[in-house]
Each structure stands twice: as structure tokens, then as C-alpha cells.
Amino acid sequence: MAKGSHFLVGLVLLHCLVAMAEAEHLRYKDPKQPLNTRIKDLVDRMTLEEKIGQMVQIDRSVASADVMKKYYIGSILSGGGSVPKPEATAKDWVDMINEFQKGALSTRLGIPMIYGIDAVHGNNNVYKATIFPHNVGLGATRDPQLVKKIGDATALEARATGIPYVFAPCIAVCRDPRWGRCYESYSEDHKIVQSMTELIPGLQGDLPANWSKGVPYVGGSKKVAACAKHFVGDGGTTKGINENNTVATRHELLSIHMPAYYNSIIKGVSTIMVSYSSWNGEKMHANRDLITGFLKNTLRFRGFVISDWEGIDRITSPPHANYTYSIEAGVNAGIDMIMIPFNYTEFIDGLTLLVKSNAIPMSRIDDAVKRILRVKFVMGLFENPLADYSLTDQLGSQEHRELAREAVRKSLVLLKNGENADKPLLPLPKKAPKILVAGSHADNLGYQCGGWTIQWQGLSGNNITSGTTILSAIKNTVDKETKVVYEENPSLDYVKSNDFSYAVVVVGETPYAETNGDSLNLTISGNGTETINNVCGRVKCVVVLVTGRPVAIQPYLNKIDGLVAAWLPGSEGTGVADVLFGDYGFTGKLARTWFKTVDQLPMNVGDSHYDPLFPFGFGLSS
């Protein structure tokens, strides 16, 4: 018996030791372990192939569970308009993402992938999501707490679709409105941009007390990892040409374009995206001094640095001309995750050879992988890798639409109101016999939302997603006895021959994104100026500008009785009617200088040649 009991005790002891060894063996899977212990434990177990896989981000169109498993892919994204199917539901998104995630989890180490999307004004790729005003409008609100709430709502709508990572906020300081991304910038003034980094704690959650500076933070399953972009100087390129060269001293770069990155890092931003642009002729994607030297070493950023879409390809001109060189330059500069998004095997093969030939040191690969894993651990992805359907009702919720409507109200800037303060046109009377609503942007939800909405370049029309056009909002706001006549492009004779009490003319820019929006003349699209000429001067009129930036308006200003900058208000056009008809007052102030002529550009507040049509900070109240 004694021998038998000794044997049993030994067996139990052996089991305990095996169990302890097993627990020790999988320290990275134990959420009770310190963050750095988990990271080190996992990195120590990884092969070169597994490490390189973590550094790869591919588009969903080339992803599958098998691809995730075979290549150990660390991340997937939806490029603009890359969706599971047209008009996909929240459930469709969750199903697709979980299918990819199961492929990642089936690998030897079971490292979950992270799914990213451009949710730059709400979860804007997704059908029926709430579309908030673009950043140019939010800058005019001067309301960081409102922007924080928008971050919170955007996080919920992203998680509703199973997405835990968003490429926002854009903290560019747009110094020239000719830039096609100017609407993604909150202001020409870095102080306003800095204040609007409150979007980050909205997206990610407020940092706990004593959180280590520079360490990324994501506060649970209702929050998402954020991405400050585009590092650095993207808003300062010559003539506002997208992806071009920013000519600036180091002092100018650090004092204008860098400050919002300090705030973002202090607020625990998880990731930072590198800019396509150059600084004094050197491509940012290859700038080791700024990415590794300044961002990582000086600012002590501990999250991961991600490239832009095919960003390393564009290190060379023409793009992809010497891909091996581009991989070496980009990775050695300090980029941790590479947005490829299609030719991932070419990248994997190229990076593997560069590491094996010691052109890229193993320490650089380990730094990249540790940073990526740090974000994944902090987010709780290892504990909760699969999305569920518990938040699907948050997509386009009434509460979020009310918040977007409030943001529209606060973003509107009143630039002119009657001949003088004694004879204001606004607020407009709700009760009138007959009013005219005119212009290409009055009844076009796609135009109202602008670029980065459902498709990368935006769309035209009212069936692109759910929302309320400005025309619908006016009809719903005026007295039921008031006759509202809509004529998109009324002729002069038409206006003369009708007895309108007043007119609302809604014109602006048609949607664009990035380089497609670069413009040297900044004119109103289509028949917009003709509509202003035909309507204004014949009848009392307020012109509502739906644009991503200031546009040339001076030649028409004398004809216009009231002028409102509505920017790109998004899906909730009712916010415009709320203020036009006086249910709320105008409170928005210009966060951008409004030029007289494009010949003055670039012109920003504080410049010696400052002679604006409407100065920075201008905004009448009604």
C-alpha cells in the first residue's frame, strides 16, 4: 500500500508540475501577468515567419481564414469602400471579421489579428452609420467635449460592426485650403487641433490614474484603438499639393505640425500613421530621425507606427520602382506595421531576405512586434478576440444622430446677415406664403456628407445611406402652411415670375478625397455660382455653403443677403434647419481664414500679408 500511495502522490505531484509548467509555458495568455511579461513571453516563442506576419496589414478583399493561418497575418483593413457586400448590416460585418479572426486564432500561437477601418467622421464606410460633420466643421465648434462624445459614439458604431481599430483622428494642421484633405483638418491653428485630440479619449477611453506616459490604452470592449495621423507635416505641403513636400525649418515643423502629437501621446493614443508627404525633400516613410529618433525615443511613444496605404512603395519615384529598397528604408526608419494592402507575399519574402542578410537587424523586427503586441494585449484582444452582436443596435442609433445634429448646429458659421446689424435676414421666418429652396446641394445626402462616405471618394444621391437632406429638414421645420418650392437650377425668369418670400440657396463642392480634391482655384462646383446669380438679387436669399474648406465667394458677396458656412455636415441635415430658422443661435467661429482670392494663398492668421475676406475666429451670432 505504501508503495502504491507514494506512486499516487508522485503522480499527482507530476500532474501539478506539468500544470504549473503549462501555466508558466503560456504566460502570454494569462491576463494577470504584467504587460511586459506577456509581451516578452510571446516574442520569445515566435519564429521569424510569425514575427513578420504580425507586421503585415492586408485589405479584406485579399484576406481569408486560410491566408491568415498560412502567413500569420497580424492585421486586416477595409480600404475606403471595401465592404463585405453592398448595404452590409452590422451582423454581416461581425460575421466577416470573425471568420478572418478564426483563421488567425488557428495558428500555432493563436495571436489574434486586429481589424482597422477609416472611421474619420463616424463609421463612415458602413451603410446606415451616423455620419458626423467632417473635422473642418468640428474645428469651428471650438468644443473639445463635443468632439470627445463623437469619439465615444464612433467607437460604439465601430464595435457594433466588430471593428476594434480606427484610423482617426487626422491631426493635420492644414495651412493651405488648396489641399484635398483640408476638410480632414480641424484648423490652420495648431492650438485648436491640439484641443480636438479629445477625440482620442472618446475613442479609447480616459486613461486610468498613474498610467505610464506613452503606453497605449484602450478601455474595454466598447472602445477602439485610435490612430493619430499623418506623421508629420502633411498639412504644410507646397501649394497644398497632396503627398508633396513640406518646406519648413525644424522649429516650424515642431511648433506648428508636431504639437498635437504630444497631446495624442499623453492621451494614450495606440497607433500613429506616417504621412505620404516629405519634409524638406525626405520622404516621411523613410525618415528614421523623426520616426525612431523623435517619436519613439524623444516623445517615448510606446504604441505602434503604421504606414499609410502602399506608403512604403511611394518612397521611390515612381512607386514600387525598387521595392527591396523601400522595405529596408521604411522598416529601418521605424515603421512597425506595413499597410500593403494587396502584394503581401512580395513584402513578406522581401523582408525575410533583408533580415536574413542583416540589412534589417533582428532588434528592429522585435521592436515592431513588441509594439504591435502591446496594443493587442492592452485592448484585451487575447481575452476577447471574437466580436459579438451585443452592440449592433448602436449603429446609426437615434442618440448618435441627435449628437451629430448638435455638432452640425455648433459647426455652422454665420458670415453675413443682411446689409447691417439693424436689418438681419436670419433667423428666417418659419411662416411665409412661399419660399424657394435652390442649389445642387439642397437635396443630396451624398454631397452633404462629402468624401470618405460609403465610398473613398464619396457619392452623389439620397439612397447612399440613412440621413436627412437640408431640403427635407427645411420642409420639416417650416410652418405647415408655408409652401416650399424646390428648383435645383432655377432660371432668372423663373425667380422673377414667382413671388417668393425668400430663398435658401444650398451650393458647394462635390465630394472628393485626398489628391482628387487638390484644387488651385477653389471654386463652387457645377452651376452653383449661376444659381446664386439667378436667385440672389431677385429675392432675399441666404446662401448655405456645403464645402470642405473656404471657397471663392467674394465676387458674389454683394448679391448675397445671408451667408452660412455649413462645411460638410454629414447625415443630419436637420442641424442646418435648426439654426437657419432660429431654434438655436449661430455659435460657430472660423477655424480657418477665409481668403479674398486664391492668389493670397497660403495665408494663415499671423502672416504679415494677412488680408482676409473673413478672418480666423470670425462668426456672427443671430
Catalytic site positions: 308, 514
Report residue 25 CA to chain centroid gap: 40
- Angle, vertex CA 516, rays to CA 515 and CA 518, nearest 5: 65
Burial pattern 49-66, b for ≥16 Cβ within 10 A else e, equals: ebbbbbbbbbbbeebebe
Give the other-Cβ count within 10 Å of 549's Cβ: 27
Tell me the H-state helices in 454-559. 470-477, 492-497, 528-535
Residue 482: which residues within 8 A CB-CB, separation 6 or more? 430, 431, 432, 433, 434, 435
Ranges of beta strands (E only) in 511-612 are 541-546, 562-565
What amino acid occupies position 276?
A: Y
Distances 219 to 74, 375, 381 between C-alpha atoms, Å: 21, 12, 12
Amino acid letter, residue 261: Y
Cα–Cα distance measured from residue 46 to residue 40, given in angstroms and rounded to the nearest whole number: 10
Instruction: Give the separation between CA 536 and CA 363, rounded to whole angstroms.
Output: 66
- The gap from C-alpha 463 to its chain's centroid, in whole angstroms, comes to 23
Contact between 469 and 462 (Cβ < 8 Å) = yes
Burial track 399-428 (b if 16+ CB lie within 10 A, e otherwise): ebbebbbbbbbbbbbbbbbeeeeeebbbbb
